[in-house]
Amino acid sequence: MPSLLDLTAQGDVGTMTDESKLSSVTLMDPQQLYQLWERQNWQAHAIDFEQDVEDWRAFSDQDRAHISWNLSSFFVGEERVTTQFSGLVMAYENQSEEAFLVTQQVDEARHAQHFNRFYEHVLGYDGSFDERLQRAREDLNDAFIVLFDEHLVEASKRLIADPSDVEAKVDFVTTYHMIIEGTLALTGQYFITDFFEKQGKLPGFLEGFRKIAQDEHRHVAYGTWFLQQKARDPELARRIRDKLLELIPVAAGVLVPPGLDPNEPYEILGYPSDETNAYAFTALTRRLKVIGVPLAAESVPA
């Protein structure tokens, strides 16, 4: 049962997409992504949770515990990236990029609002927004804290200190767009959405979660575009790769439920760990081929 870290150590295990085609992909630029944001805008507070309340009551205590654990990392993660995003907004290089980056920060705040409403109205977490967040934090494992409260926060502080620091900007986008969103969030969204669709449960949550995934795809598209531009510089290409190799072991730990051995097989909502790890790794390696920075050291431009 290979972990995400094992797959990385093996190098590129192959994808279903031809590498030559990936390298010639034309990506949407920030202006196009901003215009897409206008067309895809949505309201978290317009979502109806009435059926979700009934569905939640029908779940067993064990199922409710498993589901709330799986969603806690999303709830807290949305708050973390919202608060740490200002440095990247400050680091814009033209007006179109500034406009799009502002929409990303708005998106993350809206995502946190969706989870706050779901935890309040469906899961029944009493208190304030902050108190619900703190309660959700109790579910998190150590790897999550290291990634979000240490690596992401440090990357943000460096950008705020000097928004013109290109290396700091590359580090932030690699951490946020490639690891947190492109590897962890989109993987979790795929399997959680599949689980509830098959169950036919929680339609309000799914409505918002699909919209969140739509937003995240747009965000990752920006990160892929940005890193593709910067990877034309061999030094920055190596920096992207080095940051990925530093963070992938941490990210692999985020996927593991607390109390379980990351070196042993485990399941998340019935999905085996080898399946979730393979999905995450394949998605990451495809984007890296588009960027031009495969994980294999010899493939980085000299």
Rounded Cα gap, residues 263 and 258, in angstroms: 13
Enter the tokens of residue 75: 């709830």
pLDDT at residue 13 in the model: 31
In degrees and rounded to multiples of 5, residue 21 shows phi and psi of -70, -40
pLDDT at residue 284 in the model: 93
**SS3 label, residue 271:** strand
pLDDT at residue 22 in the model: 47
pLDDT at residue 294 in the model: 85
pLDDT at residue 301 in the model: 47
Correct CATH for 4-8+59-293 of 2.102.10.10, 3.40.50.360, 1.10.620.20, 1.20.1250.20: 1.10.620.20
pLDDT at residue 14 in the model: 32
Q: How many CB atoms lie within 10 A of CB 200?
A: 9
Mean pLDDT by 10 residues, the chain (302 residues): 45 37 72 97 97 96 86 95 96 98 98 97 95 93 94 97 98 97 93 94 98 96 97 96 95 83 80 89 92 71 46
Rounded Cα gap, residues 292 and 228, in angstroms: 7
pLDDT at residue 89 in the model: 97
pLDDT at residue 16 in the model: 32
CA distances from 273 to 12, 143, 196, 200 (A): 19, 16, 18, 23
Question: How far does CA 196 lie from the centroid of its chain?
Answer: 19
